[in-house]
Amino acid sequence: MTVRVLLVDDQALLRTTFRVVIDSAEDLEVVGEAADGAQAVALAVQHRPDVVLMDIRMPGMDGLAATAAICDRPELAGTHVLILTTFETDEHVATALRAGAAGFLGKDVQADQLLDAIRTVAEGEALLSPTATRSLITRFLATPQALEAASGPDPLGDLTAREREIMSLVAEGMTNQQIAAKLHVSHLTVRTHVHHAMQKLDARDRAQLVVIAYQTGLVQPGAPSD
């Protein structure tokens, strides 16, 4: 099955470079290019891509607003947004996470890493670069406001103990394979628990599961599991 990709960046040279790399893979296909957020939303609705490779800083509607607009549309529930950024300096990534972005990618990425990243996000299997993602989330999401517990009943009350445990490991940036090895269970078992947690919490994808884990205080910054 071919993964359909929409490229969004205001720099034509970068779009051309990414297109050449992506189209070189037999299982990937670029279905459109956008130079700003408004155009990205329109093309996403038109083409229903599997992955949107989204720049953040663009004229007009930026990548943050475009990500929110795409993720808010029910007809685009199968579309995953992969943010192009620099991990250390782009504080807007936290906003993109809350808006529903599925992963992050540095613009200096190697060709094979770019292709693997697109495949990973299309499958909804894991966040990219777990160490960098965890660092970013801890730095920008784990604030008093983000960690403020929701009022009323426990928002995680419907989760089983195992689902909470696995959700916390997901929030630390661990892949399904790493979690399976840590808990001595199968990869399929971990994937099933992750899927159930997402369903119960109405999380669009794995990235939103991470956001919920920090917002509810299930995971605290600087306190990884043993």
* Matching CATH number, 149-215, of 2.40.50.100, 3.30.750.210, 1.10.10.10, 2.60.40.10: 1.10.10.10
The pLDDT value recorded for residue 140 is: 57
DSSP code of residue 74:
G
The H-or-E segment that residue 25 falls in is none
Tokens read off for 218: 């299930």
pLDDT of 37-56, one tens digit each? 999 999 999 999 999 999 98
The pLDDT value recorded for residue 73 is: 93
Average pLDDT over residues 143-152: 49
The pLDDT value recorded for residue 2 is: 94
Report how far apart, in Å, the C-alpha atoms of 158 and of each of 56, 89, 200 are: 35, 37, 7
At which residue do the structure tokens 């009323």 appear?
A: 152
- The Cα–Cα gap between 124 and 16 comes to 26
Per-residue pLDDT at 143 exceeds 80: no
The pLDDT value recorded for residue 113 is: 87
Q: In the chain, where are the structural domains located?
A: 3-124, 149-215
* Percent of the chain topping pLDDT 90: 50
Report how far apart, in Å, the C-alpha atoms of 184 and of each of 30, 192, 223 are: 39, 15, 22
Average pLDDT over residues 169-196: 90
Answering whether pTM is above 0.95, one says: no
| CATH code given to domain 3-124 | 3.40.50.2300
Average pLDDT, the chain: 84
Helix residue ranges per DSSP H, the chain? 12-23, 37-47, 63-71, 93-99, 111-123, 130-140, 144-147, 161-171, 176-183, 187-201, 206-215
Average pLDDT over residues 175-195: 91
Per-residue pLDDT at 70 exceeds 80: yes
Greater pLDDT, 128 or 174? 174
The pLDDT value recorded for residue 24 is: 95
Task: Choose the most confident range, by mean pLDDT, from 43-47, 70-74, 136-140, 186-190.
Answer: 43-47
pLDDT of 89-110, one tens digit each? 556 667 777 788 888 888 888 8
How many angstroms separate the first and last alpha carbons of the chain? 39
Average pLDDT over residues 197-209: 85
